[in-house]
Amino acid sequence: MDPGLLSRIQFGLTASFHYIYPPLSIGLGVILVLTEALALKTRNPLFQQMTRFWTRIFGLIFALGVATGVVLEFQFGTNWSTYSRFVGDVFGSALAAEGIFAFFLESGFLAILLFGWDKVSPRVHMFSTVMVALGAHFSAIWIVVANSWMQTPAGFHLVQAALRQRAEITDFWTMVFNPSAMVRLSHAVLGAWQAAAFFVLSVSAYYLLRRQHLEFAKASMRIGLVVAVVASLGSFATGHQSALLVSRYQPAKLAAMEGHYPASAPAPLSLFGWVDEKAERVVGTTVPGMLSFLVHGDTTKPVTGLAAFPPADRPPVQPVFQAYHAMVGIGMGLIGLAFLGAFLWWRGTLFETRWLLWVYVFAVLGPQAANQLGWFTAEVGRQPWIVYGLMRTKDAVSPALSVGQALTSLAMFLTIYLALFVLFIYLLDQKIRHGPAADDLEMAYHRR
Amino acid sequence: MLDLNLVWFGLVGVLLTGYAILDGFDLGVGALHLLTKKDEHRRLMINAIGPVWDGNEVWLVTFGGALFAAFPEVYATVFSGFYLAFMLVLCVLIFRAVAIEFRSKLPLRWWRRMWDVSFSVASIAVSLLLGVAFGNIVWGVPLSAEREFAGTFLGLLHPYALLVGVTTLALFMMHGAIYTVLKTEGELHAQARGWVNSAIIFFVLCYGLTTMATLLCLPHMSQPMRDYPVFFAVPVLTMLAIANIPREIHRGHDVAAFFSSAAAMAGLMALVAIGIFPHLVLSRPNPELSLTIYNAASSPKTLRIMLVIAGIGVPIVLAYTAGIYYIFRGKVKLDPMSY
């Protein structure tokens, strides 16, 4: 046991647990903007009821997101102080910008979204909802920019300071628009929309199966399906773009994602399989030359493999391979589910297809799993580097941190997060069982 | 020539002061929470801070981000050095957020009592711990030549730091009591008026002790005032602001009392800033190893970029934050969307 390993486990745990919530609030923000705009335009009380119900769910999810997110802002300093000293000049500004441009906006206008129904006009309320959704997206922008800088650093130079070397900004916009930032941002945001869309589908399907709140459930499901189709297709497209960038800027990560060992050879694409790390090959179903085709548009062109890197510079292969393939598999399944639903909607039989509704009830877990696996691929695939090619993870840990301290905090977070998760599921279930209140129809917009 | 490091010393201070003034009142409300017995009163207390508490906490998060960007060496040294203390703060902040969110979700008595206690204990603990951390910054901490914290967790709990911790709690309780007076009516309002008077006495006692301890043990904190007597204006104005609080409360000008209390907090922060300048983390016993606003800062280019970001962002934030406080002005009422 060393403090570095414990810190990695702790960061993984806290970040993964946090990332249950922000995708839902980013995506639900979009859905709230849609339903409230429809309510404002059509004056149909059903849309008001939907806005009120999903706002209540949003409030619960947002609170958990805030509670678990504060930890992350300080963890760079507590556990990764050497990293913080090295990157502060570059990475810190993205984090500070997130606070100033995103967190204030989101939490400030959330007050009006949740508690301001009777205090402001419908238009001001609509504006607040848009600001909350915008704030959630701004937050995604800055944090993905910061993380992308760790994957594909740009816009900086290394300077020898008094005690140690550090990275200093040379061009802010080059740093912000580092090679992978915008593609990874769109992939993350679309994954968030998927998470919320399938969440809405799950709750709506549950009501339809129980024959409760039928009008509400049908209307919610239609909106959920529209977002699900758009976001699933978008995830597919941006995922492909993202893999191309990995092949260009982080070839070792791509090689691990596909279990491709030969230093330079045409590469097959594995659909699924098991990496035999001793024999340096993948056992499973593969399409010959397909990875070369996806990367270069030519099945015979070579792709850099793990053998091109000294063992000390290779990421763990099996976990990255499995996480990546599971993410892609789930992503494909979600596209199928979204399109099947849209097709049945068009045929007019969606709400009677009970087996699909049952699948939807559980499909809420799909985007959650895919989002986690995607980050796992990105972060573990970057190893052994914390900043790709510049600083190794093992050199980034706080020297002042002891094993005892790291164990204490890890045990503390593990306990609290488990308890929180149980409570969250319990209260979410209560809210869903309670359903959209009948008086939501009249309660909205007292001032109209 | 603009001294960017000085500007950022000021801006980071403004963020911390903003946090103290804003989260200070909701932590104070939390610390006083268990003094009310009726469920309705407890709901009123929580809903008085309901729409704004998480926005207030953002000031702390943004302070962390700004410290990381402007003074990464301080961010790295302090947070890794005060590891267990900050992990405790973070855990307690999680508990507090969850308690506010979950308390009124179920009508069961044991459930509400459990979260009431969590909310109040968490609020007290956050106030104390932040105060202790602040006390250590003023007192100085052992640093190695590599700028790593060289002390122990228990070493942070020396009498001066504990005194600053209790003073911070007293200050937040006074501030929170005034806020409760401002937001409530009837029985709870009358009760809160009583708290204000006791809290002021508690705070003034703590403040007096802290001032004496500082003058006796930490001559560097008052040296700038001996060098530049103009700085004497700050403690004098702070004292006037504190003295004005009971006066305004007595006259029924609750809003003025709240602003007086906020001004007193700003004055106290200014006093500390003047005293520690140019140090951010004073090294004790080897002052030459201290982190200052010059040796711990980011490059001038980053400080300039950040100044542009702050210049665009902060006025917008202040404008809509003021707008939101205006929208939620007046006495708090319970409705179906309340906690």
Cβ distance A115 to B337 less than 8 Å, yes or no, reads yes
B68 touching A (Cβ < 8 Å): yes
Predicted confidence (pLDDT) at residue A280 exceeds the cutoff of 60:
yes
Run of H or E including A249: helix A214-249
- Residues of A with Cβ-Cβ distance to B66 under 8 angstroms: 96, 99
Query: Quick check: A181 and A142 in contact, CB under 8 A?
Result: no
Residue A93 to residue A339: CA distance in whole angstroms:
41
Where in chain B are the domains?
4-327
**What would the two tokens of residue A21 be?**
């919530």
| Band of residue A446 on the pLDDT scale cut at 50, 70, 90 | very low
Burial class (CB in 10 A: 0-12, 13-18, 19+), A205: buried
**What would the two tokens of residue A107 be?**
């939490």
Q: Is A134 helix (H, G, I), strand (E, B) or coil?
A: helix
- A78, A168, A169 member nearest B83 (Cβ): A78
For B258, phi then psi, to 5°, come to -65, -45
pLDDT digit string, tens, across residues A158-190: 888 777 889 999 999 999 999 999 999 999 999
Torsion angle (degrees, nearest 10) of CA A156, B75, B16, B31: 140
For B336, phi then psi, to 5°, come to -60, -20
Degrees to nearest 5, angle at CA A49 with A48 and A51: 65
- A56, A103, A420 member nearest B61 (Cβ): A103
Q: How many helices and strands, by DSSP H and E, does chain A display?
A: 16, 8
| Band of residue B1 on the pLDDT scale cut at 50, 70, 90 | low
B307 touching A (Cβ < 8 Å): no
Percent of chain A whose pLDDT exceeds 90: 55
Range B217-220, long-range pairs (CB < 8 A, 24+ positions): B217/B160, B218/B138, B218/B139, B218/B160, B218/B275, B220/B275, B220/B282
- In the prediction, which pLDDT does A221 show? 93
A127 touching B (Cβ < 8 Å): no
- B97, B150, B335 member nearest A67 (Cβ): B97
pLDDT digit string, tens, across residues A393-411: 999 999 888 899 999 999 9
ipTM over 0.90: no
- A95, A100, A398 member nearest B310 (Cβ): A100
Cβ distance A112 to B73 less than 8 Å, yes or no, reads no
Predicted confidence (pLDDT) at residue A444 exceeds the cutoff of 50:
no
Higher per-residue confidence, A1 vs B53: B53
- Residues of B with Cβ-Cβ distance to A59 under 8 angstroms: 101
Distance from CA of A284 to the nearest CA of B (A): 45
pLDDT digit string, tens, across residues B132-181: 999 999 998 888 888 888 888 888 899 999 999 999 999 999 999 999 99
Handedness of CA A287, A292, A297, A299 (dihedral sign): negative
Percent of chain B whose pLDDT exceeds 90: 44
Where in chain A are the domains?
185-401
Residue A331 to residue A304: CA distance in whole angstroms:
26
Which of B52, B82, B94, B126 to mutate against chain A (most A CBs within 10 Å)?
B94
Q: Is A285 helix (H, G, I), strand (E, B) or coil?
A: strand
Distance from CA of A228 to the nearest CA of B (A): 29
- Residues of B with Cβ-Cβ distance to A172 under 8 angstroms: 305
Residue B5 to residue B13: CA distance in whole angstroms:
12
Q: Is A156 helix (H, G, I), strand (E, B) or coil?
A: strand
Residues 6+ apart with CB under 8 A from A375: A15, A16, A19
- Put simply, the chain A residues between 79 and 118 with a CB less than 8 A from any chain B CB are 79, 81-82, 84-85, 87-93, 95-101, 103-105, 107-112, 114-118
Query: Quick check: A28 and A47 in contact, CB under 8 A?
Result: no
Percent of chain B whose pLDDT exceeds 70: 100
User: What is the pTM for the complete model shown?
Assistant: 0.90
Q: How many helices and strands, by DSSP H and E, does chain B display?
A: 12, 2
- Alpha carbon of residue B25 to chain centroid: 9
Cβ distance A78 to B337 less than 8 Å, yes or no, reads no
Cβ distance B76 to A95 less than 8 Å, yes or no, reads no
Nearest Cα neighbor of B9 from B268, B279, B305 is: B279
Residue B166 to residue B90: CA distance in whole angstroms:
19
A378: number of Cβ within 10 Å: 25
- Put simply, the chain B residues between 122 and 181 with a CB less than 8 A from any chain A CB are 146-150, 153
Nearest residue of A to residue B151 by CA position?
A400
Cβ-Cβ contacts under 8 Å between A and B: the total is 227
Cβ distance A112 to B338 less than 8 Å, yes or no, reads no
**What would the two tokens of residue A244 be?**
């191309």
Query: Quick check: A285 and A187 in contact, CB under 8 A?
Result: no
The overall longest dimension of chain A from CA atoms, in Å, is: 72
- In the prediction, which pLDDT does B149 show? 87
